Amino acid sequence: MIQYILECIAFQLVFLVIYDFFLKRETFFQWNRVYLLATFAASLALPWVEIEAFKNEAPVLLGYSEYLWNLQPTAIVGVGTAPAAMEITWLIVLFFIGCGMAVIAFVVKLWRLRTLKLTGKVQVYRDHRRILIPQSNVAFSFLKSIFLGENFSRKETESIVAHEMVHIRQWHTLDLLFFEVVRIVFWFNPLVYVYQNRLTELHEFIADAQVPKQERQEHCEMLLSQAFEVRNFSFINPFFKSTLIKKRIVMLQKSKSKKIWQLKYLVLVPLVLGMLFYTSCESEANSKENLEATPLKSNMVPFSELDAVPIFPGCENSEDKRACFNQKIMEHISKNFNYPEEALEKNIEGKVSVLFTINTEGSIVNIENRGPHPLLEEEVEGIISKLPKMQPGLKDGKTVNIPYSIPVIFQLDGTSAQTIRANKALESNAIPFGEVDEVPVFPGCENATDSRACFNENIMRHISKNFSYPQEAQDRGIQGRVSALFTISKEGNVENIAMRGPDKLLEDEVERILKRLPVMKPGKNGVEEVAVAYSIPVNFKLE
């Protein structure tokens, strides 16, 4: 939500800068009115808009840049028990206090307006009401009512009424009331007040533009000669307002802008397209939940490109040291995992993406992580810092620095992809994907140098290609993570599909996708063909 608010304010600032520097001094008053109303509405809507053609990544899979992916698709899941009570933070309290004060201020203004109406004499005309205020020089309109002091001469009254009738016919009060209501919710946003101020002065320009040329001099003199008596209502159109008098006189004497300058409004086209591109390209890879892709240093080699991976203590005699390394990392995290008590109390959950380097001495250095809260990030950093020293990895016979990444999931709903995997594997006698000697061969991976990496890549590509967010789930606001487990049988078929997710609609969609997986060449343990258990998380996220 904070990101949404910041984006709204940023878009509003850009729109206002364009208005003040390019459009404000032109006499296209109606165009400018539409501009102010439309751009404010656009600033509220644009952060939610995503154009599919602008997206650079499928939204359903949370992943890393290719050189960071460690070819182990199963996330480490930490499970905690959420407290029943919903936490109310001081920011929420402050927000509602501000909204309450804004509502009170609005009601007070309406009450003062009603009191003023009760003190005046009401005259009803065909297209408006006129409230005459005794012994006053007040002059403004509100909806279909014109509040007018009795101290004006007949000629001045006619001029003021003609001016205010423009406001009434064009429903200018509704523009200002709209911003008055918006101010209740966005009381903390100063640009809402700027928008309302710009619209107020624009309304006066529109009404003044109706004054015949031969009467404009007298109109200017009347503006200057009056003792200003302005009521402090932000949702009215005051005739006499000292801060606007000079601007109105200047605009009255200004020549009409040439129509060619209407082309200035075309600047909105690339501007809005740029904003749409920005909002649409906010993919998972660039979100706070994932590590940013940064260039590898010259002496760093991706985990998937090593000739010899680092040897985790206990993996010295393992036939597949890569699989053993991955397994030991997961076991280490699971063993040392502890859900922070404060995070449980605050109902904090989510994914922490951690990246660290195994240097040329086999030590763990440069731990970086990104997650939803510092409490979770600190827990993961503490776990990773406890990793033992290893035998360093090799590339071309030389020890190298190796970046390694893994996601750690903190969740409070009792769902665990690892639990599903373990139970299902025991039931079907399937061997976990990370432990099998030869993984199943996905069609097209027959000649791949690393069949394990090719398999993972094609599984993710298949899910992205066939993914469709259920419309009913979107309508009901259902989102979350579906942990899926399936078995690739000895015949290469996908069987025993099991899922755990926030709703059956999402689970059914994942099952539909997985059932469309092609027949594969089965995996092997030694020379024997075996069933292989494979798990993958699929995230459904509403933008």
CA distance linking residue 502 with residue 480, whole number of Å: 6
Token output for 496: 């025993």
Confidence (pLDDT) at 388: 92
Task: Name the fold adopted by 415-543.
Answer: TolA/TonB C-terminal domain (3.30.2420)
Residue 395's contacts (CB-CB under 8 Å, 6 or more residues apart) are 301, 305, 306, 307
The pLDDT of residue 280: 62
Q: How far apart are CA 142 and CA 378, in angstroms?
A: 57
Tell me if domain 50-87+288-414 and domain 415-543 are identical in fold: yes
User: What's the pLDDT score for residue 99?
Assistant: 92
What's the pLDDT at 252? 57
Measured CA to CA, the distance from residue 35 to residue 30 in angstroms comes to 9
How far apart CA 139 and CA 241 sit, in angstroms, is 10
> To 5 degrees, how large is the angle CA 106–CA 112–CA 113?
90
351 burial type by CB count under 10 A (0-12 exposed, 13-18 middle, 19+ buried): buried
Query: In this predicted structure, what is the pLDDT of residue 213?
Result: 57
Closest by Cα among 529, 465, 466, 517 to 493: 517
> Long-range contacts for 368-372 (Cβ within 8 Å, ≥24 apart)?
368/291, 369/291, 370/288, 370/289, 370/290, 370/291, 370/292, 371/288, 371/289, 371/410, 372/288, 372/289, 372/348
Q: What is the pLDDT of residue 243?
A: 57
* Buried b or exposed e, range 193-222, using 16+ CB within 10 angstroms: eebbebbbbbbbbbbbeebeeeeeeebbeb
Low-confidence ranges of the chain (pLDDT < 70): 1, 50-88, 211-255, 261, 279-299, 412-429, 543
* Token pair in block for residue 290: 């994932």
Reported as a single tens digit per residue, the pLDDT across 178-234 is: 999 999 999 999 999 999 888 988 888 888 777 655 566 666 656 555 544 445 556
Measure the CA–CA gap between 69 and 304, rounded to whole angstroms.
8
What pTM was estimated for this model as a whole?
0.45
DSSP code for 391 = B
CATH no. of 50-87+288-414: 3.30.2420.10
What pLDDT, on a 0 to 100 scale, did the predictor assign at position 405? Answer: 82
Q: What ranges do the domains of the chain cover?
A: 50-87+288-414, 89-256, 415-543
Tokens coding 235:
């949702």
